[in-house]
């Protein structure tokens, strides 16, 4: 079964391989923030391996497109760090249409990692982890770290590789606390209702608020960097 139908009756068959621009065009309706740079980054991280023409141009299959949809959905809807996504892809075969992320990782609290496991999976140095814990960026529960803790650790480790120190990250904690307080005012009335449907709506609302917040933050950072990038 192919990842996309070859073409409806009377329609031209879908191309066997796609350029990076064609892949971007197919992804953007669902993932509007995706860029060519993002696709190249995911390739560099080993999450997709497009073929190369003799001239060096990337060519993507429909299976490659399915993998990209899986990765982008896992990041957007489940906040998975790339290491976890890579493990998911290695342990399962992505279906032609996007495979659903398993329930074991849908809730960040379902992940329970020891300190050594967190360090191994995130790549964060032990002394750096201790410092970001002191600053309140990561807070284990009963000595265990959930998927959000893992995501923070991986992001901090990545930022540290560019020279950012923990003291530079304090503003993130302050901003996140303010946003959480604001969003809590919106979802708390739903969460307090003694109705499972209302609880589900509260969870959906919270996820959508987080997604929109991430979209806004990313756009504002890109706008702020335009002068530095000369664009």
For the segment 26-62, what is each residue's pLDDT rounded down to a tens digit?
Answer: 998 888 888 998 899 999 988 999 999 988 899 999 8
Q: 51: which 2 tokens?
A: 């073929």
d(CA 134, CA 181): 22
d(CA 126, CA 133): 11
CA distances from 77 to 122, 131, 208, 212 (A): 20, 29, 9, 11
- Residue ranges covered by each domain of the chain: 20-97, 107-164, 171-225
* Upper half-sphere CA count for residue 76 (Cβ side, 13 Å): 17
Report the 10 Å Cβ neighbour count for 118. 24
d(CA 166, CA 119): 16
d(CA 144, CA 204): 26
d(CA 90, CA 108): 20
Would you say residue 115 has pLDDT above 50?
yes
Contacts of 126 (CB under 8 A, 6+ apart): 119
pLDDT in tens, 137-174: 998 988 899 888 888 898 898 888 888 888 888 888 88
d(CA 10, CA 13): 9
pLDDT of residue 95: 39
CATH class for the region spanning 20-97: mainly alpha
Would you say residue 194 has pLDDT above 70?
yes
Would you say residue 87 has pLDDT above 70?
yes
CA distances from 3 to 69, 99, 152, 166, 201 (A): 11, 11, 33, 43, 32
d(CA 32, CA 29): 6
Report the 10 Å Cβ neighbour count for 42. 19
pLDDT of residue 110: 67
pLDDT of residue 81: 79
For the chain, give the mean pLDDT. Answer: 81
pLDDT of residue 92: 58
């Amino acid at each position: 079964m192919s990842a996309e139908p070859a073409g409806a009756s009377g329609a031209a068959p879908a191309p066997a391989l796609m350029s990076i621009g064609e892949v971007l065009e197919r992804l953007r309706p669902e993932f509007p923030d995706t860029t060519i740079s993002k696709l190249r980054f995911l390739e560099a991280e080993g999450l997709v391996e497009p073929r190369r023409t003799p001239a060096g141009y990337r060519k993507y299959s429909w299976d490659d497109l399915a993998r990209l949809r899986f990765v982008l959905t896992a990041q957007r809807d489940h906040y998975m760090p790339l290491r976890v996504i890579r493990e998911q892809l290695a342990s399962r075969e992505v279906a032609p249409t996007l495979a659903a992320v398993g329930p074991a990782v849908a809730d960040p609290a379902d992940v329970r990692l020891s300190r050594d496991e967190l360090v191994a999976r995130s790549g964060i140095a032990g002394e750096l982890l201790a410092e970001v814990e002191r600053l309140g960026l990561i807070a284990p529960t009963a000595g265990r770290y959930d998927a959000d803790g893992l995501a923070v650790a991986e992001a901090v480790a990545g930022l540290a590789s560019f020279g950012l120190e923990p003291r530079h990250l304090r503003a993130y904690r302050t901003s996140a606390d303010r946003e959480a307080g604001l969003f809590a005012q919106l979802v708390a009335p739903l969460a307090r209702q003694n109705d499972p449907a209302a609880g589900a709506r509260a969870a959906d609302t919270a996820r959508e608020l987080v997604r929109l917040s991430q979209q806004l933050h990313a756009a504002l950072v890109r706008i702020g960097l335009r002068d530095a990038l000369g664009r």
